[in-house]
Structure 1
Amino acid sequence: MKADKTRSPGPLLFFDTGVGGLSVLREAKKLLPNAPIVYAADYAGMPYGMKSEDELSTRIPLLLGRLVERYNPMLVTIACNTASTVALDVVRSVLDISVVGTVPAVKPASQMTKTGVIGLLGTQATIRQPYVDRLATEFAPTKQLLRFGAPDLVHAAEAKLRGETPDQKIIDAAVAGLIRQRHGNDIDTVILACTHFPLVQEELQKSFVRDIQFIDGSQGIARRIAHLTAEIKWPEAPENGVFVTTGSLAELKRYRKTLNGFGLTELEVL
């Protein structure tokens, strides 16, 4: 369902545990540079990847309900693979606006690979989801899909966006977790199944001993958002974006330069 063009264009709401969803916002802003933005980070609930499905399927809809009530967005994007694979259906059932999810890019990876061996890096919660099994069965039945849970990459990405150097041991451990598996040395394509992970793609490539094709869902998500809002007349110039956190504002000081670069100049607490 496309957004209602008769209503005043509310903001696009992006939701993640932290700043990983900026990898999705980056692509969306290329297509919709003047769309008003609210970016919500559930720092009080981080890390999602180590929480149970029951916890997440309760927490996420409640938070998004509060966010929708406060900001009246045109559309919601769950810019988090873990949240999407666990709670997307529940969120869609309780919100009366369009909700775009983020899922592992298994289909395009299966079309890209030449060796037939694909690596998938995600959080522990994402890689164990039956949803990923269904994607593999439907889109990559003849491929080898090697999964590895690398939740510490989230912290490496967060550190990078604070202006720090990511811990190379974290990067190397994630890569080793893939290549040490059977057929791991034949991996030529890696799915980054957490929106934080594209932020450290350069560091991951350096840790591999050969060139790797990396794929994530951010461009496809951006195209979906643009399609759903195709009839909306956005402002003629970009407005100040809002970054809202469930944590403390003090913790955001180290991210201020990065957030400003995305036009997220207004900081608020939920």
Structure 2
Amino acid sequence: MNPASPTTDARPILFFDSGIGGLSVLRPARELLPNAPFVYAADSAGFPYGTRSDAEIAARVPALLGRLTERYHPRLIVIACNTASTIALAAVRAALDLPIVGTVPAIKPAAEISKTRVIGVLGTRATVRQAYVDDLTAKFAADCTVLRHGSAELVTLAEAKLRGEAGTPAQYRAVLDGLLGQPGGERIDIVVNACTHFPLVAEELAQAADRPLRFIDGGPGIARRIAYLTQGQQWPQSPPPGIAVFTGPADNAARLAPALGRFGLTELQTL
């Protein structure tokens, strides 16, 4: 893909995640910017990030985004992965000379609406252990109790759902028990989905809960940020088909093709 001429700017917005979780961020962005070209990159060869070391992610993400930038010439990159953002965002911004939008846990809006002042943060183990979560809590939720739980299984359940493989209510209850079963967990009224995979199974989580809970994520806010950073830019009158590019074997991409098509990603490629 070559850079477009100034009169027909077809440079895409590039979304990046370890898997398909970033689709939960792509969806509100497509609604807000219907004429924008999109490339969605999934590091399926490195999936899942939540079980990798910080050092692995810090080295892998900037290198991959450098290769993707050379191939697709994006106008803006969205790191649609909480784990990658909390670990590698600064390094990516230092390496690439274009706007980079990260994804962080939606602790600020959760604190603004919580009635009980007890907030749950559901993410990967790599995300919930980050000092960045401590900083967000201190800055925006100092008067709240913030409980965390890291789950690799929920990432797997979200990926399986997109392949048409339904998880069981018991599996979702087990994940929630890791959060709600902590001391003080019975007072949680807001759960922050601090992994972009998790909004894809928010309905299943809500149904598995033993009481009404509100689940929130940063997707809509990220979409608004993208729109702000690209305001005044040109978009194609008829955007090209969305591209989904995978770093791993093509068979996984093929199994996800029907779901990807529902998000406007109809062309599959490998990196």
Same fold (TM over 0.5): yes
Superposed displacement of residue 9, structure 1: 4.0
CA deviation map 1:35-62 (0-9, x unaligned) = 0010000010011001111110000000
| Contact map agreement 2:29 2:226 (CA 8 A) in 1 | yes
- Equivalent pairs, count: 266
Superposition RMSD on alpha carbons, in Å? Answer: 1.2
CA deviation map 1:215-242 (0-9, x unaligned) = 1000000000000001111111232011
Please give the alpha-carbon distance, in whole angstroms, between the structure 2 residues aligned to 1:190 and 1:117: 9
Percent identity of equivalent pairs: 55
Map 1:157-196 → 2, pairs under 5 A: 157-196=158-197
Map 1:3-82 → 2, pairs under 5 A: 8-82=9-83
Greater mean deviation of Cα atoms: 172-181 or 18-27: 172-181
Map 1:1-270 → 2, pairs under 5 A: 8-270=9-271
Please give the alpha-carbon distance, in whole angstroms, between the structure 1 residues aligned to 2:222 and 2:244: 20
Superposed displacement of residue 6, structure 1: 5.4
| Contact map agreement 1:156 1:167 (CA 8 A) in 2 | no
Please give the alpha-carbon distance, in whole angstroms, between the structure 1 residues aligned to 2:55 and 2:207: 37
- Matched residue of 1:61: which SS? helix
Please give the alpha-carbon distance, in whole angstroms, between the structure 1 residues aligned to 2:167 and 2:92: 33
Superposed displacement of residue 248, structure 1: 1.3
TM-score, with structure 1 as normaliser: 0.96
Superposed displacement of residue 173, structure 1: 1.5
| Contact map agreement 2:41 2:246 (CA 8 A) in 1 | yes
Structure 1 runs, 4 residues or longer, greater than 2 Å off: 5-9, 167-170
Superposed displacement of residue 168, structure 1: 3.0
TM-score, with structure 2 as normaliser: 0.96
Superposed displacement of residue 169, structure 1: 3.3
Superposed displacement of residue 123, structure 1: 0.3
- In structure 1, give the amino acid aligned to 2:129: R
| Contact map agreement 1:65 1:95 (CA 8 A) in 2 | yes
- Matched residue of 2:267: which SS? strand
Please give the alpha-carbon distance, in whole angstroms, between the structure 1 residues aligned to 2:133 and 2:63: 25
Gap regions ≥5 residues in structure 2: none
| Contact map agreement 2:10 2:239 (CA 8 A) in 1 | no
CA deviation map 1:55-74 (0-9, x unaligned) = 10000000000000000001
- In structure 1, give the amino acid aligned to 2:145: Q
- In structure 2, give the amino acid aligned to 1:228: L
- In structure 1, give the amino acid aligned to 2:211: R
Superposed displacement of residue 211, structure 1: 1.2
| Contact map agreement 1:9 1:232 (CA 8 A) in 2 | no
Please give the alpha-carbon distance, in whole angstroms, between the structure 2 residues aligned to 1:200 and 1:208: 13
Please give the alpha-carbon distance, in whole angstroms, between the structure 1 residues aligned to 2:171 and 2:26: 25
- In structure 2, give the amino acid aligned to 1:90: A
Please give the alpha-carbon distance, in whole angstroms, between the structure 2 residues aligned to 1:173 and 1:47: 20
